[in-house]
Amino acid sequence: MAAEPVNVNEFSTLARNVLPKMIYDFYAGGAEDEWTLRENVAAFQRTRLRPRVLVDVSNVDLSTTILGFKISAPIMIAPTAMHKLAHPEGVTATARAAAAAGTIMVLSFSATSTVEEVAATCDAVRFFQLYVYKNRSISAVLAQRAERAGYKAIVLTADTPKLGRREADIRNKLVVPTLKNLEGLLSINMDTEKGSGLASYASQTLDSSFSWKDIKWLQSLTSLPILIKGILTAEDAELAIQAGFAGIIVSNHGARQLILCHQRLWLIEEVTKAVRGRVPVLFDGGIRRGTDVFKALAIGAQAVLVGRPIIYGLAVKGESGVKKVLEMLQDELELAMSLSGCCRVEEITRSHVQTENEIIR
Ligand code: FNR
């Protein structure tokens, strides 16, 4: 491989070389036998493109608008925990790279920098991801701190009433660093005796009783729009709209929660059909190429979020690595659009993709 990575997958290989095994495994790993993890990427490879030719593509515009905020391309940064394990500057470097690329970063609840530190690092539109803890006042405080610090939306992660079974972390006895947002709010014994420190931490903190009937409480905490992350069915998409969520993120948490038995990329179609344009539908999981972004958009997503590649960029080259990862994905998306005859994001339609078995007449 060339010294300078030329695509996002090469960043992943380089990150494996620079990170200690316990940390790389935490970032890269998925739940149980990890076949959903492989499927997240493989689903894109099985989805075919139907390019149109002889379109004037001399001016391609990637920009789009999410919840009224203009972004340079439909590629956002997913909330991922503990960036200081990848690089000493942690998520503040990621935030600066997002701002430079003109996109939105969703800050993780479990970050190794506080919401205020991230807000102070540069001006940009940012969202804050929320977990609901057994001690709900902790989540309430965090949602309100995020609003005060200028975050523009809350992203409720709904797929984690309990932590998925991440066996690499159990094997490595993952040690969790200080989660800065929670300093002074709770004290937990991150026990690694029986395995993963994160699993021990999560079992003491996550509120597995939180349900649809509690959404009103969440809405009473903040005037910000609230998106829901982790929707995988038409039924839950409808419930989410009825509950008043401002947007839906189709996500299986990077294959770290439930092992699934469905080709999940196409769940975008199930969800968008149920949503019927009432709120934006975003997607994350397995995006490694501009063509992956193109396919997710063609199936119906308005934008995608990227998790692991961002962390790998950070691990290898800090802020400039994250910038490079975003630039690579944006450049590849521009090329995919050009080679498919699309000048604007809205011109990417369902007719530009087909499943392995589908014949469109
Ligand atoms: C995550 N994800 C996640 N999600 C969330 O809502 N809160 C969090 O704190 C985290 N933390 C986290 C850490 C790491 C190391 C990973 C890999 C993932 C899930 C994340 O937001 C997103 O759904 C996936 O990462 C998307 O898949 P890809 O892009 O990593 O394949």
Which residues lie with the beta carbon below 6 Å from any ligand 1 atom?
A: 27, 40, 78-81, 108-110, 129, 157, 229, 251, 253-254, 256, 284-287, 306-308
d(CA 229, CA 251): 6
Instruction: Reply yes or no on whether the pLDDT at 358 is more than 80.
Output: no
Tell me how crowded residue 251 is: count the other CB atoms within 10 A of its CB.
26
DSSP one-letter string for 149-217: TT--EEEEE-S-SS----HHHHHHTPPP---GGGTTT-------TTS-HHHHHHHHHB-TT--GGGHHH
CA of 11 to the centre of ligand 1 (A): 17
Which residue lies with its CA nearest to atom 11 of ligand 1? Answer: 80
Instruction: Reply yes or no on whether the pLDDT at 2 is more than 60.
Output: no
pLDDT above 70 as % of the chain = 98
Paired tokens of 270: 């199930």
**Exposed/middle/buried for 320, CB within 10 Å: 0-12, 13-18, 19+?**
middle
User: At 4, is the secondary structure helix, strand, or coil?
Assistant: coil
CA of 51 to the centre of ligand 1 (A): 31
pLDDT, average across residues 26-50: 94
pLDDT of residue 262: 64
CA of 55 to the centre of ligand 1 (A): 37
**Confidence band (pLDDT; 50, 70, 90) for 116?**
very high
Mutation to probe ligand 1, out of 256, 257, 265, 306 (largest number of atoms < 8 A from CB): 256
**Confidence band (pLDDT; 50, 70, 90) for 98?**
very high
Instruction: Reply yes or no on whether the pLDDT at 143 is more than 60.
Output: yes
| DSSP assigned state of 61 | B
| DSSP assigned state of 83 | G
Instruction: Reply yes or no on whether the pLDDT at 1 is more than 50.
Output: no
Average pLDDT, rounded, for the chain? 95
Tell me the β-bridge partners of 105.
77, 126
List, in order, residues 6 or more apart from 236 with CB less than 8 Å away. Answer: none
10-20 pLDDT per residue, tens: 999 999 999 99
pLDDT of residue 263: 64
pLDDT, average across residues 166-178: 94
pLDDT of residue 356: 72
pLDDT of residue 261: 62
Ligand 1 atom nearest to CA at 230? 23
The per-residue b/e assignment along 271-299, b for 16 or more CB within 10 angstroms, e otherwise, is bbebbeeebbbbbbbbbbbbbbbbbbbbb
Q: Is 165 annotated as contributing to ligand binding?
A: no
Least confident of 73-77, 150-154, 312-316, 354-358: 354-358
Paired tokens of 16: 């494996």
pLDDT of residue 245: 98
Q: Is 352 annotated as contributing to ligand binding?
A: no
CA of 60 to the centre of ligand 1 (A): 30
For residue 66, which phi and psi values (nearest 5 degrees)? Answer: -120, 120
